[in-house]
Amino acid sequence: MAELIVRAPAKINLHLEVLGLRPDGFHELAMVMQTLDLEDRLCLQARPDAELTLSSDRSDLPSDGNNLIVKAADRLRRHVGRLDLGASMRLEKRIPIGAGLAGGSSDAAAALVGLDALWNLQLNRSELLDLAAELGSDVPYCLVGGTQLCFGRGERLEPVPLPEPPRLGVLLIKHPDVSVSTPWAYGLCRLRRQATYVEGESAFEQRRQALRQGPLLAALQGHGPWPLLRNDLQTVVEPEVACVREGLVLLRQAPGAEQVAMSGSGPSLFALFSTVADAERALEHLATPLRDAGFEAWCCRCSSSGVSLDPLACADR
Ligand code: C5P
């Protein structure tokens, strides 16, 4: 039977600014997200019954209705009123879990795009984006990918105009035994930083405009030096999570590192380099201390798109 494979890439946050609280209880955010070439793969096959089944190469992931992939599949078939549609789904997990790299969100986006194709539903982009936003704040970004400003809960996207993906090398590290819960990190942020929150649409828009016109976008467009990267969740997570502190110390020692920061709600950390070769040299240099401290590490490139059907793997098998 035909098998369809969807690539689901990871993202990092080059900027994560918590502006304030929203009436829906979420935080109003101003972020810059960047897709990396570190990817999960979701393999899909239609089923003649109405079952949605999920298996994966990671035993610590739920494979029932609690998995965002299964939720995405069910939400999609309900949207088109076709509860008779079934699929066998297999996840090859490469993106670390609970890491702040949007692995789960990207897998959900991959399920939407892949099942839309597998079931021949032909939803338009805006329908897919609306379903994505219902599933999670980062899911719309994962559908689109590339270098994007993300506002609102994270679902309002504005592309950063770039002729090609930034030619950065990214050294990414994560301790395999530590994960951070996103609601916990935002809850802590509210507890510690609420006095710094601003209120109202005009104050939010002022901050968005400062980001659009600020030094980070200029650096991405090749017009200036890298500013210090801002992640407001790092400010609150770093004092609580030892491996974040240790990892930041190690990455800051990397020769040629332009900037170092935590991604999303952590605990994954990254350093930016002018080229991928520089990132690879830094990884060689730090291999022993990273291993001794128990970190896993990846050298990545930036890429310009989100989830995509794998053209080579879509043939009949
Ligand atoms: O949307 P998502 O399911 O990814 O959000 C997970 C949790 O992160 C939310 O339940 C909320 O606690 C927190 N969050 C937030 N503000 C956002 C996004 C997420 O407070 N903009």
Ligand 1 site, residue 212, Cβ cutoff 6 A: no
- In the block, tokens 């239609």 appear at 46
Ligand 1 site, residue 138, Cβ cutoff 6 A: yes
107, 116, 138, 278: the active-site residue: 138
Amino acid at 79: H
Nearest CA to ligand 1 atom 3: 136
Amino acid at 301: R
CA 187 – ligand 1 centroid, Å: 9
- pLDDT value of residue 315: 44
- pLDDT value of residue 312: 67
The reply to whether 138 belongs to the active site is: yes
- pLDDT value of residue 316: 45
CA 137 – ligand 1 centroid, Å: 7
11, 40, 116, 278: the active-site residue: 11
Please state, in angstroms and rounded to a whole number, the distance separating the CA atoms of residues 52 and 114: 14
- pLDDT value of residue 159: 97
Ligand 1 site, residue 265, Cβ cutoff 6 A: no
Ligand 1 site, residue 250, Cβ cutoff 6 A: no
The atom number, within ligand 1, closest to the CA of 137 reads 1
> Please, is 292 exposed, middle or buried when counting C-beta atoms within 10 Å of its C-beta (0-12, 13-18, 19+)?
exposed
State CA 191 to chain mean position distance.
25
CA 247 – ligand 1 centroid, Å: 25
CA–CA distance from 150 to each of 26, 157, 191, 304 (Å)? 14, 5, 23, 15
CA 278 – ligand 1 centroid, Å: 35
- pLDDT value of residue 2: 81
Nearest CA to ligand 1 atom 10: 183
User: Using an 8 Å Cβ cutoff, are 56 and 63 in contact?
Assistant: yes
Q: Are strands 52-56 and 156-159 parallel, antiparallel or unpaired?
A: unpaired
Q: Mean pLDDT for each consecutive 10-residue tract of the chain (317 residues)?
A: 92 98 97 98 97 94 93 98 98 97 98 98 98 98 98 98 95 97 98 97 98 98 95 98 98 97 98 98 98 98 96 55
CA geometry: angle 83, 7, 122, nearest 5 deg = 40
Mutate to test the pocket of ligand 1, among 11, 27, 131 (most ligand atoms within 8 A of CB): 27
Please state, in angstroms and rounded to a whole number, the distance separating the CA atoms of residues 135 and 146: 20
Answer yes or no: CATH 3.30.70.890 is held by domain 169-301. Answer: yes
Q: Would you list the DSSP string of the chain?
A: ---EEEEEEEEEEEEEEEEEE-TTSSEEEEEEEEEEEEEEEEEEEEESSS-EEEEES-TTS--STTSHHHHHHHHHHHHTT-TT-EEEEEEE--SPTTSSS-HHHHHHHHHHHHHHHHTT----HHHHHHHHHHH-TTHHHHHH-SEEEEEETTTEEEE---SS----EEEEEE-TT----HHHHHHHHHHHHGGG---SHHHHHHHHHHHHTSHHHHHHTTSSPPPPP-BHHHHHHTTT-HHHHHHHHHHHTSTT--EEEE-TTSS-EEEEESSHHHHHHHHHHHHHHHHHTT-EEEEEEEES--SEE-GGGGS--
CA 182 – ligand 1 centroid, Å: 7
Read off the pTM.
0.97
First to last CA, the chain: 6
Domain ranges within the chain, ordered by starting residue: 4-162+307-315, 169-301
CA 109 – ligand 1 centroid, Å: 17
- pLDDT value of residue 317: 41
The reply to whether 60 belongs to the active site is: no
Please state, in angstroms and rounded to a whole number, the distance separating the CA atoms of residues 73 and 107: 11
Please state, in angstroms and rounded to a whole number, the distance separating the CA atoms of residues 101 and 33: 10
Please state, in angstroms and rounded to a whole number, the distance separating the CA atoms of residues 309 and 317: 16
Please state, in angstroms and rounded to a whole number, the distance separating the CA atoms of residues 236 and 172: 20
- pLDDT value of residue 161: 93
The atom number, within ligand 1, closest to the CA of 182 reads 8
What is 4-162+307-315's CATH number, 3.40.630.10, 3.30.230.10, 3.30.590.10, 3.10.20.30?
Answer: 3.30.230.10
